[in-house]
Structure formats: structure tokens, C-alpha cells
Amino acid sequence: MVTRVAVFGFFALFAAGCSKEAPEAQRPAPVVTVMTVTPQAIPYIVSFVAQTESSRQVDIVARVSGFLDRIAYPEGELVKEGQLLFQLDPKPFEAQLDAARGETLSQQARHTTAASNLNRIKPLAKQNAMSQADLDKAQGEFDASSAAVFSAQAKLKLAEINLGYTTIRSPVTGFTGRALQRQGAYINAVGDSAKLSYVAAVEPMWVIFSVSQNQLARLREMARTGELVLPKNLEFEVELILSDGKPYAHTGKTSFADPSFSQDTGSFQVRAVLPNPKRDLRPGMFVTANVKGGTRPRAVIVPQLAVQQASKGHVVYVIKDDGTAALRPVVVGDYSGEKGILVASGLQDGDRVVVDGALKVVPGQPVKIAEPGSAASAKADEAGKAAKDGDAAKKK
């Protein structure tokens, strides 16, 4: 009996020993690198979809009617100011000019005769050798001949102008459009056929983009709160990015802003002027306009590796004073080149943000901060990169 009790006691102790779990080994604190948030002044750049426009596009329109004798320019090519573009048949206008000259000479002869008669009658009338009626008649003929000469000279000038209009030259230096009428066609100066082509100046070049009402309101609010400092005289610099992603070699300045909003789009147009010495820009090109000149005086920039995407937005890990990590939601803004990403809100001056090793951090648990450049820091960098590569592989 005693032996049976002893055996049962032994098995009971053995079962109790087996059911007791071994204590879990405490997980070591992850090694991370951190940065201390320090606000800094950075340029404020706003990008717009823009379109180039000729700074002076002139329609070439015939001012007189006639047959088109010659198209004298290479269509679509660059022409100089004053270069011949079209030639209308000048012969009818030359004949009108000759007729106007003959009329002018005739009226001048009449005027000379009237002046001689008046000069003879005036002294005779003073001596009462001629009547006052004769003097009035001579004076009237003189005045009428003077008016006739003036009218004839005006017709002569008009005939010269019309003859000059048969030769159509470029008013500006620029690129030409195609000829809308062909050689030998009759051009009606008061009809649709009067429009012959156009010339578009490309030096300088205009760039047009639209600013929405919401964008303007946001800029004003940022300026009011001191988040944005605007340039003096509101002169913004404009940099272009071409369709192939390459920056345009020259920058320009804003020169005009429409004072009213469009009722259709709720935006207003802004115009910038850029030099175009090599004529790389042509009218109608779509480009990206980066508008510079404003400054964010106290911007918070963190490396992109420190910002993570959560279900409800972006978050970062910050290290509290007790050495534990805390998850902090942030609102991110525009990327700031190689410096990192702009944090519009959520971080303050002096906050310590986890940069490398964030994937091993557990909220509320302590972390070990590695000194920059140390072996631990390099190890944390490698671990963070490996974890990031692993996540990318899983997603694939």
C-alpha cells in the first residue's frame, strides 16, 4: 500500500514538472538609428501643367483684293521681319496709281490757273476796275481748286498704299504656318479667302498655366500663418520640364496674372516669359512649369525610409524620453529631392524619429539607439535594407 502511494506521488510530481512551461527568453531591444527633427528653410516649389504660346502671333491677311501671283516663303520655316511672304498681282493697282497721278497733275494745273486769275483780279478790284462779284468768283475758283488738289493728292496716296498692300511681308521674325491659299487663287479682301497664313514669334516664348481657386486660397493661408514667405514684388521664377523629363536650359519670370477667374474652370491664367535663343520651344508644347520663389521658413524634412504607409495614412516611429518607441501619425507633403520627404504636420522640433530599423520596432517597447557611423548603425542599416527587400519580394 505504501509502495502504491509512493508510485502515484512520483508520477504526480513528474506530471506537474512536465506541465510547467519554461520561461520565454526576453527579446533583445532592436538597434535603430534616429534623427532629431530640426526645422529648416527650404524653397517652396509648385508644379503646374503648362503650355507654350507665341509671344506675338500675327495672322497674315490680305488688305486688297486680287489674284495671288506668288507664294514667296518656305512654309513652316523661320522667316525674318520684313521678308516677302505673298505677292498679289500689282498691275491693276499700278494703273490706279497712274490715274491718281494724272488727276493730281490736272487739279494742280487748275489750281495754278485759279491762283493767277485771283492775283490779277485783286488789284483791279481795289481800283474798282473789277466788280466785287468778279473778285468773289475768282476767290471761289481758287478755293475750289485748292480743295480739288487736296482730294486728288489723297487719292494718289491711297493708290500708293493699295499698291504697297499687294506685296505682303512678315511683320515679325518667327515661324510661318502653311499657306491657306494657292498661287493663282483670287483673294477677296472682305471674304474668308483674305486670311493667307500666320507668323508666330518664338523669341521670347510665353508659358501659360492655370491656378485654381483652391490653390490660391491655400497659398494665401500659408502666407498668412507664416508657413510660406512670398518673394519680393511677387516675382516668381519659372523652370520648365520638357515632355522627355529633361529640364529646359533657361528660366523665366512670371509677367502677367489674369485678374478674374474663368467661369468655366474656376481658375485664372498666369503667364511667364522665357528666353528661347535656340528656338527649342515651339508654340503649343505641353510642359511642366515649376514655379519657384517662395520659401518655407520652418520645414520638417525626414528621410523617406522613416515614413511608412499605414491603413489610415502615413506614420513614423518616434523615441520617447523613456527610450521606448511610439507610433506617430503624420501628414506628408511634397518630396524634397535627395533630402527626403516633407512632413507638413505631426512632428515638432526636437522629436527623435527612427530612420533605420523601423521594421523591427514594437510600439511601447524599448529600443537601442546606434550612434551614426558605428558598427551597430551599419548593422541596423543592413537589417533594415534586408527587411525592406524581403517585404518587396513577398509582394511580388
Strand-pairing partners, residue 250, are none
Q: Looking at residue 26, what is its pLDDT?
A: 61
Instruction: Give mean pLDDT, residues 156-166.
Output: 96
The pTM of the full predicted model, rounded to 2 decimals, is: 0.71
Evaluate if residue 7 carries a pLDDT over 50: no
CB neighbour burial string for 207-224, b if at least 16 within 10 angstroms, e if fewer:
bbbbbeeeeeeebeebee
Q: Looking at residue 393, what is its pLDDT?
A: 44
Question: For the range 276-281, what are the long-range contacts, defined as Cβ-Cβ under 8 Å and sequence gap of 24 or more?
Answer: 276/202, 276/203, 276/204, 276/205, 276/250, 277/203, 277/250, 278/249, 279/78, 279/175, 279/202, 279/203, 280/248, 280/249, 281/52, 281/202, 281/205, 281/240, 281/248
pLDDT in tens, 196-223: 999 999 999 999 999 998 888 888 988 8
How far, rounded to the nearest angstrom, does the alpha carbon of residue 296 sit from its chain's CA centroid? Answer: 22
Q: Looking at residue 358, what is its pLDDT?
A: 81
Which pLDDT band holds residue 61 (cuts at 50, 70, 90)? very high
As a whole number of angstroms, the distance between CA 359 and CA 152 comes to 96
As a whole number of angstroms, the distance between CA 212 and CA 195 comes to 36
pLDDT in tens, 248-303: 999 999 999 888 888 888 898 999 999 999 999 999 999 999 999 888 888 888 88
pLDDT in tens, 86-101: 999 999 999 999 999 9
Q: Looking at residue 180, what is its pLDDT?
A: 95
As a whole number of angstroms, the distance between CA 298 and CA 295 comes to 9
Q: Looking at residue 106, what is its pLDDT?
A: 94
Instruction: Give mean pLDDT, residues 172-176.
Output: 94
Angle at 127 between CA 123 and CA 133, to 5 degrees: 75
The answer to whether the beta carbons of residues 293 and 253 sit under 8 Å apart is no
Evaluate if residue 185 carries a pLDDT over 50: yes
Evaluate if residue 48 carries a pLDDT over 80: yes
Domains of the chain, CATH where assigned: 31-41+298-395 (2.40.420.20), 44-54+201-297 (2.40.30.170), 62-87+169-197 (2.40.50.100), 91-165 (1.10.287.470)
Q: Which residues contact 384 (CB under 8 A, 6 or more apart)?
A: 305, 356, 357, 358, 359
Which pLDDT band holds residue 357 (cuts at 50, 70, 90)? confident
Q: Of 6-20, 354-368, 381-395, which one has max mean pLDDT?
A: 354-368
pLDDT in tens, 372-393: 555 444 444 454 454 444 444 4
Question: Mean pLDDT lowest for which of 24-28, 168-172, 219-223, 230-234?
Answer: 24-28
Q: Which residues contact 58 (CB under 8 A, 6 or more apart)?
A: 171, 172, 198, 199, 200, 201
pLDDT in tens, 362-375: 888 888 888 655 54
